[in-house]
């Protein structure tokens, strides 16, 4: 093809084509990579550019078609202009060294390689990498010029967009982009923020604990049956006074003779008011006994919050499948689970002795142990909720003092038992995890 243009003019046209191709490449990647949530926040703040980007993302076929038309048109023109723009100069540079029969093919080949290399580097790689680094910022700058191209190519865009929609529907594929945010997506964003240092460790663990509410059962945060303080209808006034004096609780469970026959609960302030007013403390038929919320032990902490919200209560009794009381849980227990290590040190369930050993309460939830020891998972962890449950599951019997289990590069040893309940475990890091025993190491 012959152009009646000077080599300088042809070179300027080639550079202009590179810029046009770079524009289309950057526009395509920036609009596709822009995060819809971030754009929505910007649009809610009145950013018109963000609104236009969101509108284009709902109709991706339009801007993708316009971009491809532009890129292919530029490529065709570049192929025609490139050889004539660079050919004479390359011919002049090579001819002093070689004037044989391969001069023209060599010049044409070098022109093709140089033009292709320039387009790959300046019109493709660099614009796309910049667009991936700051997609929303770049998309805001390019959305209106791209919208002008869509209008300019409207007939061609309509034809190709219609054909592509027909083919997509033929294969049963979605025609529009969907931005369904999943739990895994949120977790990935939070993890990335923590790794990048944007999210402080305290806030990261707080968010992580909130996510765990969906998977942790109420049994992992409740006060167990044997630790519940309760009053019975059969107790005398003197016995009730002694209970109040010995146990500093704001509320007491009220039962009929035994803990599994629940009547309700009383507020300590109501009891103290009756004592100060010299009124009898008889619990039988007392109108100030409030009904208590009962829940199954299969509920998650997240589901428990919904029950608290619906009933306007902040205390619940946990029952098993046989309707026996297994524990008591309050809203404060759930909040303590969320706060994690931010609670008072005296309430911490994991005490780090040194870099290789920890004292851990037997009732510590498995998720907390995994995070503290940096273990991915414990075997069959769906079968138990606490570290004590892990020991009983591994040993297949009730543990005794000095019973130990080795797993994941750590040794879990029972060091304190209180009425068959594992009170404390000593966890030590094994010096040579490759030699750890797969089977539990039981006491004699």
Q: Which residue has the higher pLDDT, 407 or 421?
A: 407
What is the helix (H) or strand (E) element at residue 327, kind and residue range?
A: strand 325-330
Q: Is the pLDDT of residue 346 over 50?
A: no
Q: What is the pLDDT of residues 279-307, one digit of tens each?
A: 888 888 888 889 999 999 889 999 999 99
**In the prediction, which pLDDT does 184 show?**
67
Q: Yes or no: is domain 347-429 CATH 3.30.465.10?
A: yes
Q: Is a pLDDT exceeding 50 seen at residue 347?
A: no
Alpha-carbon distances of 98 from 19, 106, 107, 392, rounded to whole Å: 34, 10, 11, 86
Contacts with 319 (C-beta within 8 Å, 6 or more apart), sequence order: 294, 295, 296, 297, 325, 326
Give the per-residue pLDDT at 84: 65
pLDDT at 264: 92
Instruction: Please determine, for residue 324, whether its predicted confidence score (pLDDT) is greater than 90.
Output: yes
Per-residue pLDDT at 439: 47
State the pLDDT confidence band at 391, using cuts at 50, 70 and 90: very high
CB 384 within 8 A of CB 398: no
Residue 443 has pLDDT above 60, yes or no: no
The pLDDT of residue 349 is 74
Helix (H, G, I), strand (E, B) or coil at 419: coil
- Mean pLDDT for 208-232 is 84
Residue 436 pLDDT exceeds 60 = no
The confidence score (pLDDT) of residue 100 equals 66
Over the stretch 96-136, which tens digit does the pLDDT of each residue have? Answer: 666 667 767 777 777 778 777 888 888 888 988 988 888 88
The CATH number of domain 208-340, selected from 2.60.420.10, 3.90.1150.10, 3.10.580.10, 3.90.550.10? 3.10.580.10
DSSP symbols for 110-157 = HHHHHHHHHIIIIIIIHHHHHHHHSHHHHHHHHHHHHHHHHHHTHHHH
The proportion of the chain whose per-residue pLDDT surpasses 90, expressed as a percent, equals 18
Q: What pLDDT shows up at residue 77?
A: 81
Q: Is residue 316 predicted with pLDDT exceeding 90?
A: yes
Q: What is the pLDDT of residue 183?
A: 63
What does DSSP assign to residue 289?
Answer: P
Distance, in Å, from the CA atom of 135 to the CA atom of 129, rounded to the nearest integer, reads 10
- Tell me: pLDDT of 345 over 50: no
Task: Report the pLDDT value the prediction gives residue 39, as an integer from 0 to 100.
Answer: 86
Overall pTM > 0.85: no
- How far is Cα 114 from Cα 110, in angstroms, rounded to an integer? 6
Q: Kindly state the helix (H) or strand (E) to which residue 231 belongs, with its residue range.
A: strand 230-232
Give pLDDT, residue 440: 53
Tens of pLDDT along 130-169?
888 888 889 899 888 888 888 888 888 888 878 887 887 7
> What is the tens place of the pLDDT at every residue in 237-250?
888 888 888 887 88
In the predicted model, what is the mean pLDDT of the chain?
81
What's the confidence (pLDDT) of residue 109? 73
Q: Which H or E run contains 91?
A: helix 60-94
**What is the rounded distance in angstroms from the CA atom of residue 220 to the CA atom of residue 367?**
10
Q: What is the pLDDT of residue 81?
A: 73
Helices (H), 134-278: 135-152, 154-170, 183-195, 201-212, 237-246, 268-276
Query: Helix (H, G, I), strand (E, B), or coil: what is residue 386?
Result: strand
- The whole-number pLDDT of residue 3 equals 43
- State residue 329's pLDDT score: 93
Domain locations in the chain as residue ranges: 7-171, 208-340, 347-429
**How high is the pLDDT of residue 344?**
44
Structure tokens belonging to residue 46: 């009145």
Cα angle value 193/196/197 (rounded, 5°): 85
- CA–CA gap between residue 425 and residue 353 (Å, rounded): 12
Residue 342 pLDDT: 53
């Amino acid at each position: 093809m012959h152009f009646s243009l000077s080599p300088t003019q042809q070179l300027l046209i080639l550079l202009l084509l590179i810029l046009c191709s770079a524009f289309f490449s950057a526009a395509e990647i920036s609009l596709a990579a822009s995060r819809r949530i971030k754009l929505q926040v910007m649009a809610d703040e009145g950013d018109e550019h963000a609104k236009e980007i969101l509108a284009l993302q709902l109709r991706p076929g339009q801007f993708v078609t316009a971009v491809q038309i532009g890129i292919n048109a530029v490529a065709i023109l570049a192929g025609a202009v490139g050889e004539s723009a660079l050919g004479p100069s390359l011919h002049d540079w090579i001819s002093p060294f070689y004037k044989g029969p391969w001069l023209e093919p060599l010049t044409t080949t070098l022109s093709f390689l140089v033009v292709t290399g320039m387009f790959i580097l300046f019109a493709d790689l660099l614009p796309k990498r910049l667009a991936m680094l700051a997609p929303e910022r770049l998309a805001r700058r390019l959305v209106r010029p791209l919208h002008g191209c869509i209008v300019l190519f409207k007939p061609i865009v309509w034809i190709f967009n219609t054909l592509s929609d027909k083919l997509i529907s033929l294969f049963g594929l979605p025609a529009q982009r969907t931005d369904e945010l999943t739990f895994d997506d949120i977790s990935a964003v939070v993890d990335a923020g923590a790794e990048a240092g944007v999210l402080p460790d305290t806030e990261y663990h707080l968010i992580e604990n909130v996510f765990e509410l969906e998977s942790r059962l109420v049994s992992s945060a409740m006060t167990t049956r044997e630790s519940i303080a309760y009053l019975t209808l059969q107790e005398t006034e003197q016995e009730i006074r002694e209970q109040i004096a010995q146990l500093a609780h704001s509320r007491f469970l009220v039962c009929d003779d035994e803990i599994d026959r629940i009547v309700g609960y009383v507020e300590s302030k109501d009891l103290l008011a009756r004592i100060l007013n010299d009124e009898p403390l008889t619990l039988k038929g007392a109108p100030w006994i409030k009904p208590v919320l009962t829940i199954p032990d299969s509920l998650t902490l997240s589901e428990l919050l919904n029950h608290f919200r619906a009933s306007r209560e902040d205390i619940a009794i946990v029952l098993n499948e046989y309707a026996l009381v297994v524990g008591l849980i309050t809203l404060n227990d759930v909040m303590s689970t969320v706060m994690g290590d931010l609670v008072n040190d005296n309430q911490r369930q994991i005490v780090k002795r040194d870099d290789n050993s920890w004292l851990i309460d037997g009732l510590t939830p498995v998720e907390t142990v995994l995070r503290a020891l940096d273990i991915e998972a414990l075997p069959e962890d769906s079968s138990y909720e606490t570290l004590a449950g892990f020991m009983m599951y591994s040993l297949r019997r009730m543990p005794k003092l000095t019973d130990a289990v080795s797993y994941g590069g750590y040794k879990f040893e029972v060091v304190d038992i209180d009425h068959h309940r594992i009170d404390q475990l000593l966890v030590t890091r094994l010096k040579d995890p490759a030699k750890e025993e797969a089977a539990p190491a039981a006491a004699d």
